[in-house]
Amino acid sequence: MSVRPQPGRARPPLGWVVALCAQVGACAPDTDVPSDSGAGPDTAVEDTDPPTDTDAADTDAPADTDAPDSTIPVDTDVADTDTEAPADSDAPDTDVTPVDTDSGAPADTDLVDTDPPLDTDLVDTDVVDTDLPPDFRRVYRGSTLPDLSGYPWPVDPAAIVASGFGPRLLPFENDRTDLHLGLDFETPEGSPAYAIADGTTFKVDPAGAPGDGNTLYIEYPLATPFVWQGVTVDRFYTVYSHLSGFSVAEGDPVVAGQVVASVGSTGGAHEPHLHVEVRLQTHCTHRYLFENPTSTCGVGFDPAISPLHLFAGYRESDLTVTLVSRDPFVVRVTTTDVDMDLNHLESDLGVVDYDLRTSLDTRTFAALDDFDYGWMVLAPDLPAAERGAQSYTLTFPTPPTWLEVRDIQGAGWRYGP
C-alpha cells in the first residue's frame, strides 16, 4: 500500500488573476475581477494541520483546465477543447504563464498554502453539468486517534488486502452482510505471519472465537500512551485468525519481524488468508463481555480499530461520493482496494462511526451486522472477493439537509450547507 500525505489546498495569489486578465485582454471595462475576500478558507473545515499535498490546487483558480478533478463531474458539451476558448476570467487560457504581480515573476503554482483546506464547492458552474444536484466538497476533520502509523505489514507486503475494515458483503455466505472488524490479507497457505513490534505472546487459542479457527494474540506496549474514549491506552493487541499453525507459546517474548504463526484456512475461512485485528488496551470485545458477564477484562469501549491506523498512516483519501438521485435520496460511496476505510457517516439526521461504534449495538453479531440505522440504510454493493474497489449505497427515507462521509483520518466529502 502506498503511503501518501493528506492533501492540503494550494491557493494562488490574487495577482495571478489580475495579470492573466491583462495578458489575454479578457477584463471587462468595469474590472469585474473576483474579490479576494470571496475565496477564503471554508470556516466549516476544522483543519488540524494535516500534511499538505502540492498536487491539490484551489478549484477557484485551476492551474490546468484540461485536467479536472475526477471527483467533479465535467460537462463535455461545454468544455470543447477543439475550439478557441472564450474570453472568460473563470476559464483561463492555459497557454498563458501565470504571473505574480507582487514580484513580476511567474507565479509558483507549487507553493503550498498552510491554511486549512479551501471549500472546493466554489466551482465554476460553466464547466459543471447544471442538471446535477450541488457537488460534494472536500472536508478534513482529523482523526479521533493520534498517529499510530509506522508498523510493518504482518505478512509479505505483496499480499492482497482482500477485505477491509467495516461493512461488507459475503458472497460465500448467501450474500449476507457483516461488520468486518479487521483486515483480510490473501496469501498462500503456510505463508509466515510476523510480529509487528517487540512484545509478548498473550494467548495461543487453537479453538478461537466461532469461525476464527486457530487464533494468536500478541500484546505490544505503546511508547506514548494516550487517552481515547475516556480511557488511558498504553498497549494494544494484534489478533491473527485462521492460522494453520503457531510458532510461539503463551508468555514467549517476540521481536519485530519474528515469524509467530503460519497462514491457513481454519475455522470458517473459505480460502487461505490472514485475518488481522488491532485492539486497544484489552483483548475482550463487547460481544465477549455480553456472552461472559462475569469477565472483568472490559475497558468501557469495544476495542477493535481499523488496522490501517497502524499499517498505512496518513494517506490521500480515495473515497469518492456520487449523489445518485434526490427522490429517493441515494448516495454511492466508492473506496479503492488500497484505501478501504469508509468510517464515518454523519448528517442532520444521525451519525454512524465504525471505529468508535457510534450508534452501533456491539453485543451480538446480529445487531452489529444490521446496517439499517432508521435514518439511513447502508448496503455494500460489491462482494468482498472483488478487486479494485468496494462501493456502498446509502439510501435515506428522508433526504438529509447535509451529509458527510469520511475515512479513518477524518478526510472525506460533504453535501449541503
Q: Which grid cell is 113?
A: 498554502
Q: Can you say whether the dihedral through the CA atoms of 357, 360, 364, 367 is positive or negative? A: negative
- How many whole angstroms separate alpha carbon 106 and alpha carbon 155? 48
Name the 3-class secondary structure at 302. Answer: coil
The whole-number pLDDT of residue 131 equals 44
Residue 278: closest CA among 245, 248, 311: 311
Q: Residue 250 pLDDT more than 70?
A: yes
Q: Which grid cell is 311?
A: 499499517
Strands annotated E in 113-213: 137-140, 160-163, 166-170, 176-180, 183-186, 192-194, 199-205
* Contact present, 216 and 239 (Cβ < 8 Å): yes
- How many whole angstroms separate alpha carbon 335 and alpha carbon 388? 9
The torsion angles phi and psi of 368, rounded to 5 degrees, stand at: -65, -30
What residue ranges of the chain are covered by domains with CATH 2.70.70.10?
Answer: 160-311
The whole-number pLDDT of residue 157 equals 87
- How many whole angstroms separate alpha carbon 409 and alpha carbon 313? 8
- How many whole angstroms separate alpha carbon 249 and alpha carbon 175? 37
Q: What is the CATH number of domain 160-311?
A: 2.70.70.10
* Contact present, 228 and 256 (Cβ < 8 Å): no
- How many whole angstroms separate alpha carbon 147 and alpha carbon 311? 11
Residue 6: closest CA among 414, 412, 415: 412
Q: Which grid cell is 417?
A: 450547507
Q: Which residues contact 112 (CB under 8 A, 6 or more apart)?
A: 8, 10, 52, 54
Strands annotated E in 247-369: 253-254, 259-263, 273-280, 304-305, 320-326, 329-336, 342-347, 350-353
Name the 3-class secondary structure at 365. Answer: helix
Residue 144: closest CA among 228, 251, 78: 228
Residue 394, judged by CB atoms within 10 A of its CB (0-12, 13-18, 19+), counts as: buried
The whole-number pLDDT of residue 5 equals 35
Q: Which grid cell is 141?
A: 476533520
Q: What is the pLDDT of residues 34-75, one digit of tens each?
A: 444 343 444 444 444 444 444 433 444 444 444 444 443 444
The whole-number pLDDT of residue 117 equals 45
Q: What is the pLDDT of residues 357-407, one digit of tens each?
A: 999 999 888 888 899 999 999 998 866 555 667 889 999 999 999 999 999
Residue written as cell 470543447? 80
The whole-number pLDDT of residue 381 equals 82
* Contact present, 214 and 187 (Cβ < 8 Å): no
Q: Which grid cell is 410?
A: 477524518
The whole-number pLDDT of residue 359 equals 94
Q: Which residue has the higher pLDDT, 79 or 217?
A: 217
Mean pLDDT of the chain, nearest integer:
75
Residue 217: closest CA among 293, 148, 278: 278
pLDDT band at 189 (very low <50, low <70, confident <90, very high): very high
- Residue 214: Cβ within 10 Å count: 21
Which whole-number Å values give the CA distances from 170 to 167, 202, 335, 336, in the listed order? 10, 30, 17, 18
The whole-number pLDDT of residue 314 equals 52
Residue 311, judged by CB atoms within 10 A of its CB (0-12, 13-18, 19+), counts as: buried
- Residue 229: Cβ within 10 Å count: 15
The torsion angles phi and psi of 126, rounded to 5 degrees, stand at: -70, -20
Q: Which residues contact 256 (CB under 8 A, 6 or more apart)?
A: 152, 194, 195, 196, 197, 198
pLDDT band at 318 (very low <50, low <70, confident <90, very high): confident
The whole-number pLDDT of residue 312 equals 67
Q: What is the pLDDT of residues 1-30, one digit of tens each?
A: 333 333 333 333 334 333 334 444 444 444
Q: Which grid cell is 106?
A: 511567474
- How many whole angstroms separate alpha carbon 261 and alpha carbon 246? 4
Give the mean model confidence (pLDDT) for residues 107-133. Answer: 41
